[in-house]
Amino acid sequence: MKTRAPFLALTVVLVAFLAAGCGGGGGSGSVPSDSIAKVDSTSITKANFNALMTVAFARFKSQGQKPPKVGTPAYSQLRDQAVTFLVQEEELTQEGQKLGVTVSQKDIDARLALIRKSYYKGSESKLEAALKKDDITLDQLEKYNLAPTLLSEQLQKKVTSSVKVSKSAAQKYYNENKASFTTPKTREVRHILVNSKSLAQKIETQLKGGASFATLAKKYSKDTGSAQQGGKLCVAHGGSSGACQQTVPPFDKASFSMKTNEISLVHSVYGWHVIQALGPIKPAHTQTFAEVETQIQSNLAQQQKQVAWSNWLAKVQKDYKGKVSYQTGYKPATTSTPSVTTPTTTAPTTTG
């Protein structure tokens, strides 16, 4: 059951941007007295900064923590992170405008409707109650979370829209990594694990006399997980495959050498196993290229999109070098990736 809406830490929505170290170094341009910074020709107002800090302080209180006091190292760190966030968001906004990417109120409303439906059963009152619990207003949620999130998503979609993976590239990857598309041979078995050989022999005799394997597994087996399933296991030879797991050598050897329905005793580092093979061995299988072509193309495309996005962010970093100016007392000590203490607009903790 979903109990928490995806209201992320403020930096998460710009995580790739921040990780790239974007945010121009301090330029020489003058900053208006009512602003904390200027990105190219656009000022970031103190009112905007104060509103973001209000959100951050509310988050501290909702978690039962005291907000840092002005003048303390903790406050300076929080201030720097808030300034960095606002500057880098403005940089993305400007770059988005150049690419024809903007976030409309219609986009925000659609995302909000999705959150309301997915996490609050479509209830506006439940959403409002959850926001109230965290002392966050709807306007703050939209401005400091939804809008930046959508901008980041839309920019990445635009920047990576030309990425395509050809069939030949997928085929090349398949040929070079065919082993990763091979599943090992598997078999369904069941076993009872005990400490002593004498007990194992006793159980074997009872089973051959018609006793219930499942009943004895639940009564005697030290492997409590399989015991609840009547002792059943799916074993794989030479590696795991889905729910089928590779086992220790003695168990593996016995599992794949027995006839169907045969019962055998095997000793391993875990103790004595009474094993019964439940069905035939399913042979190893290598998926054909046709079976995995779509999967390979999707995976390679995702990797290439990440490279394209990172390269674009690096270019933005270079383009804004020297284009950001800070008001006295507001220049961050560093413009590298903020820590996890960055202001957050975390969601309410319950659905109500």
Residue range 55-104, pLDDT digits in tens: 999 888 888 899 999 999 999 999 999 999 999 999 999 999 999 999 99
Mean pLDDT of 186-215: 96
Q: 């207003």: which residue's tokens?
A: 137
Whether the pLDDT of residue 339 is over 80: the answer is no
Spell out the domain ranges in the chain. Answer: 12-163+298-326, 185-283
pLDDT at residue 239 is higher than 60: yes
State yes or no: pLDDT of 24 exceeds 90.
no
Beta-bridged to residue 232, according to DSSP, are 190
Residue 326 main-chain phi, psi, to 5 deg: -120, 145
What average pLDDT score do residues 306-334 get?
92
Q: What is the distance of C-alpha 328 from the center of its chain?
A: 39
**Spatial contact of 220 and 203, defined as CB atoms under 8 Å apart:** yes
Residue 45: CB atoms within 10 A of its CB come to: 14
Q: Do domains 12-163+298-326 and 185-283 have the same CATH topology?
A: no
Strand duo 271-277 + 186-194: pairing? antiparallel
Is pTM beyond 0.75? Reply is: no
- Identify the CATH number of the domain defined by range 12-163+298-326: 1.10.4030.10
| Rounded Cα–Cα distance for residues 346 and 117 (Å) | 18
CATH top class, domain 185-283: alpha beta
- Is the pLDDT higher at 61 or at 325? 325
| Mean pLDDT on 152-158 | 96
pLDDT of residue 134: 86
Cα 329 to chain centroid, rounded: 37
DSSP 8-class letter at 145: I
- Name the maximum alpha-carbon separation found in the chain: 93
CA 294/CA 306 separation, integer angstroms: 18
Assess contact for 284 and 1: CB atoms under 8 A.
Answer: no
Question: Percentage helix, strand, coil, to 5, in the chain?
Answer: 50, 15, 35
Quick check: 45 pLDDT over 70? yes
What is the tens place of the pLDDT at every residue in 246-302? 999 999 999 999 999 999 999 999 999 999 999 999 999 999 999 999 999 999 999
